[in-house]
Chains A and B, each alone.
Chain A
């Protein structure tokens, strides 16, 4: 398997709609996947992300919409003609075949000569580090090994698109994290356009070139992991990816966003809504030393500690603000940070850098 980015295809999904009864599993979703990109579909269960993946693979027929690979409309093409490699959540290995036969299956269908077939299967098994396992039965493999066989089988025939449906969810945490890195490396090596479904936001952040956040059948946001984390477009994305506290902001007449009659930030764009929310990531909310100087570049809040949770490298501090809102700060437990001296009920100040402050339209629930 040599790196060959030009062998990958773009996928363009246009206005894809699928209804189950009255519920929209997909509501006019449009997404463009770039050639060679690793795109993750991230969303809670039932959000429609798997429906979308299955529609791309051809196993779920949408009600309307269009799916193109490069310029070719494949919306009604049967799955076996789409030429996409697919890895299922439970691997779906063929238990009545050996590892070799599993990986050779797509090559056999393409009537590839025995010699060439053997060569390519062995190459694929080497790529997934299973060189000595060709003659094993599927039931003799561990979960991680099965995962690798499923992967090898999906790319051995040189598909230009690879689809994966929560492929790591059956593995334990440690193995999952190893496989995330391996999958990422494999993607770099193969250069194949990859669409990956997961409900695990950390996995999505770790692996993806871009993330498409799906919620209730609609595309909530699409962007790089940094964009998604640092600039969530709405409350759903902000709360689904990473932890967030929300503080209601009000827009005054001079275009400033106001918290408890203190103007904190300018309105970020032309939107005219009155109600806005400040999104605060806990690790960016800093506990201030008593009587710390209130600099211009930061927003300050005063409150009372309502909960302290020690978690080893960090500690969670929950602070109730004057208006009853609770914000969470994640503090380092280094000696200098004095987390140990904090007490429940203690009055504290916290601050956030204005560059770290995220403002999204809409009120806070």
Chain B
């Protein structure tokens, strides 16, 4: 019996009968991936017009990117903001997730939902609201204001990841450590934290990416010398198709996939 005559489902449908599904799924997967990676080859084109496949390969647009102070400054700002957001959102979110998880009453459920509102409230509202309020206290165009807003967007993500890690974690370990003479804080740092390490690193990287990729709040809250990369890209996109953006996009894709893939590989090894 060849492979594709074997049963593929509980209802004994063979692979041959499922070929249509495999073809359809392949097409959909292509449609998902191609638009995501297509700018990579295009970014190496010599032409002013983005072509695929490029007729002549060159690093012209990468040179353009690196030699335009506007882009370089924006990149530095984005890295600064994203790093700071990561450094603030990760402890904030982890502390909140842990506290609300161990107390676990009705009150903590309410607080949990409150901290999740940034995922529900349309970002445009947060953007114009903070623009209005921060404008009055001089936080617009400042790194601090942007980091604060991005922190609030990232905290729910950190909390979701840490909470789900805590759910598979046995809190009795912390209790046993206490019975053996450890204070609660020490038990958290010596017993719980090392076992949540992977999840917290994941959460931190996602916080970084959330900030780095964020557009709308950045459009409103960043500006002048503190414009983020996404703000610069967005304004460039509205005017004309600048091929430099293809180069920048390629670098951003490499950054995010690189980070996430390394996490997946790390996670796969950790699970073993």
Binding site for B on A (CB under 8 A): 57-59, 78-80, 82-86, 88-90, 92-96, 105-106, 109-110, 153-154, 157, 163
Complex interface residues of chain B between 143 and 181 (CB less than 8 A to chain A): 170, 172-173, 175-181
* Distance to closest chain B CB from A85 (angstroms): 7
Identify the closest chain A residue to B194 (Cβ): A96
B184 at the interface (CB under 8 A from A): yes
CA distance A80 to B178 in the complex (A): 5
Q: Mark B90-105, 1 if CB is under 8 A from A, else 0.
A: 0000000000000000
Say yes or no: A92 contacts B172, CB within 8 Å. Answer: yes
Say yes or no: B175 contacts A106, CB within 8 Å. Answer: no
* Distance to closest chain B CB from A106 (angstroms): 4
B117 at the interface (CB under 8 A from A): no
Say yes or no: A79 contacts B170, CB within 8 Å. Answer: no
Identify the closest chain B residue to A87 (Cβ): B176
Q: For the side of the interface on B, what is the size category?
A: 10 to 19
Chain A CB count within 10 A is highest, among B172, B179, B181, for B179
* Distance to closest chain B CB from A101 (angstroms): 11
- A contact residues around B180 at 8 Å (CB): 80, 85-86, 105-106, 109, 153-154, 157
Say yes or no: B176 contacts A88, CB within 8 Å. Answer: yes
Identify the closest chain A residue to B174 (Cβ): A92
Say yes or no: A95 contacts B195, CB within 8 Å. Answer: yes
Apart from the given pairs A86-B180, A106-B181, 5 other A-B contacts in the complex at a CB distance below 8 Å: A59-B178, A80-B181, A80-B182, A86-B175, A94-B191
> Which one, B179, B182, B187, B194, contacts A84 given CB within 8 A?
B179
> Which one, B170, B182, B194, contacts A92 given CB within 8 A?
B170
The list of the 7 closest CB pairs from A to B, nearest first, reads A106-B180, A92-B172, A86-B179, A79-B178, A109-B181, A92-B176, A88-B172
- A contact residues around B172 at 8 Å (CB): 88-90, 92
- B contact residues around A157 at 8 Å (CB): 180-181
Chain A CB count within 10 A is highest, among B173, B176, B184, for B176
CA distance A92 to B176 in the complex (A): 7
CA distance A297 to B188 in the complex (A): 66
CA distance A93 to B195 in the complex (A): 12
- A contact residues around B170 at 8 Å (CB): 90, 92
Say yes or no: B191 contacts A80, CB within 8 Å. Answer: no
B183 at the interface (CB under 8 A from A): yes
Identify the closest chain B residue to A103 (Cβ): B180
* Distance to closest chain A CB from B170 (angstroms): 6
* Distance to closest chain A CB from B266 (angstroms): 15
